[in-house]
Amino acid sequence: MRVLSGIQPSGSLHLGNYFGMMRQMIDYQEREELFCFIANYHAQTSLRDGKALARGTLDAAANFLALGLDPDKSVFWVQSDVPEVLELTWVLSNFTPMGLLERCHSYKDKVARGITANHGLFAYPVLMAADILLFEGEKVPVGKDQKQHVEVARDIAVKFNNEYGEILTIPEPDIDDQVATVPGLDGQKMSKSYGNTIDLFVEEKQLRKQIMRIVTDPTPVEEPKDPDRCNVFQIYRLFLDEEQEEALRRRYLAGGLGYGEIKQELFETARDLFAPYAERRRELVADADGLRRILAEGAERARHAAAKTLRKVRKKTGLSY
């Protein structure tokens, strides 16, 4: 089965990126056919600084590779290195009802939070549909907030296939309910846009400072606490297996556990888990040309796969003559 997903290169990598998508993607390369890309076209909906986007693209590549993505076991590329995706985006736009895009929650949410409304932001789901359909993605790991966009891709593919036959593969969203939405410092979804992230590759002092900012309630130390209503617990549990999570839950319910104590434990756990990855990342960032070679090779393989779909689309739509 072909698994496909991507991540935007805007800003530093945080726990929401890792637990919400990246860890799953890296695990998939051992048992499925993995296609993984850096979505720099998507990043342009909110990032205007060209130098920052270029730098962020290489940083994102280093992040994935440092965390264990193997370019020999997967297809790994930068979105803009495969121009076929823009051609398919245009074709699919002609099968996308305006009402379908107007109902997308992500667009309305971002505009409500002050992001400038423009065509790129509005048409974002069509580009995402092209990302998926161009490479015949069968399974698309996403957070709960992106499920609607995969459903939009399905709707567009069905409309296209109804017109031209079974050309496009209908994708399925793959959501891990345990980490469907990773909470941030304030309990909302962890997001760079909300300024509530815990970053992976930062100095130890900064990591601890971020974790100590997690919002908690005023329950006294000696009283029992509800783990299901605690932001610290909801983040900490992502690092734990079932037995460890249950043990932590019992400590919450027993009373005598201070939030400062549990935040310190979370800090030490996060620091120790990501320290080896951080060292590998430093090595990769120091060899920018090596990173570019890996991405160029991945783009070549991705374009080969994309050409297969686009040949069929061009033939059926009359773009080939």
Active site residues: 110, 189, 192
Instruction: Tabulate helix, strand, coil % of the chain (nearest 5).
Output: 60, 10, 30
Q: How far is CA 27 from CA 23, 70, 275, 295, in A?
A: 6, 10, 19, 20
**In 3-state terms, what secondary structure has residue 38?**
strand
Q: Which two tokens stand for residue 267?
A: 């800090």
3-state secondary structure 266-306: HHHHHHHHHHHHHHHHHHHHCCHHHHHHHHHHHHHHHHHHH
Cα 15 to Cα 23: distance, rounded to the nearest angstrom: 10
Using an 8 Å Cβ cutoff, are 263 and 212 in contact? yes
Cα 244 to Cα 250: distance, rounded to the nearest angstrom: 10
Strands (E), 106-220: 139-141, 172-174
Q: What strands lie across the sheet with 74-78, from one edge to the other?
A: 74-78, 33-38, 2-7, 139-141, 172-174
Using an 8 Å Cβ cutoff, are 225 and 182 in contact? no
